[in-house]
Chains A and B, each alone.
Chain A
């Protein structure tokens, strides 16, 4: 375990469903991130939170809605997704934003939209 835990590990959902992805870290990190990893593409940054405040929305469609209730938890709420949204969704955290720290990643949620 890396210290960043993501649940569920796998999720299959229909296009009309609503589901949520959860990320939890107890590393004392202040910044948390959502990344999307599709086949044959670089990891795409979706959202950045620093001290619970969203600092970045990388032009993500509104069918993805993040929530950060505290510095240890990050959610990604999903609704009316499209098949092309099927991907591995990775959560990461870092000590702070904007400093030369590496990120710690979770194992991801493998999402399949049917």
Chain B
């Protein structure tokens, strides 16, 4: 079936470094992608999103890159801080119809640990 998956389950960085979290997706009908951050004891929180007609979107310290050719999504966090330590999920929504219509499908998650 269609899935959204992550290349690396864990990532450890030093405070101040830039972090890159990757995600691969298989549904070619995916047209909206979201990155979520989940801290311990909390639900996933929205970080940034991107639509399929874009290849880059920037937020505050975060950038999402979308490569539709290879179905790859990445989240870049600049000047990573200890408060960024969490599990990061990519997710996608397809509006192409069928059983996946309108449903948010999640990847497995990457654990980001930031060392002071």
A41 touching B108, Cβ below 8 Å: yes
Given contacts A42-B106, A100-B32, A102-B49, contact A107 B95 (CB under 8 A): no
Q: Are A42 and B107 in contact (CB under 8 A)?
A: yes
Indicate which residue in A40, A41, A42, A100 contacts B31 across the interface (CB closer than 8 Å): A100
B32 closest partner in A (C-beta): A100
B103 touching A48 by the CB < 8 A rule? yes
Residues of chain B in range 27-84 having any CB-CB distance to chain A below 8 Å: 31-32, 34, 36, 41-46, 49, 51
Contact residues on B (Cβ < 8 Å of other chain), bracket: 20 to 34
With a CB–CB cut-off of 8 A, which chain A residues contact B108?
40-42
Contact B103 A56 (CB under 8 A): yes
Q: Secondary structure of the A side of the interface?
A: loop
Q: What residues on B are CB-neighbors of A48 within 8 Å?
A: 103
Residue numbers in A under 8 Å from B49 (CB-CB): 102
Q: Is A103 part of the binding interface, using a Cβ–Cβ cutoff of 8 Å?
A: yes
Nearest Cβ on chain B to A39's Cβ, whole angstroms: 11
Indicate if A90 sits at the interface (CB-CB under 8 A). Answer: yes
Q: Mark interface residues in A1-37 (1 if CB within 8 Å of B CB, else 0).
A: 0101010000000000000000000000000010000
Closest 8 CB pairs of A and B: A98-B102, A105-B43, A100-B32, A43-B106, A42-B106, A97-B102, A105-B44, A107-B43
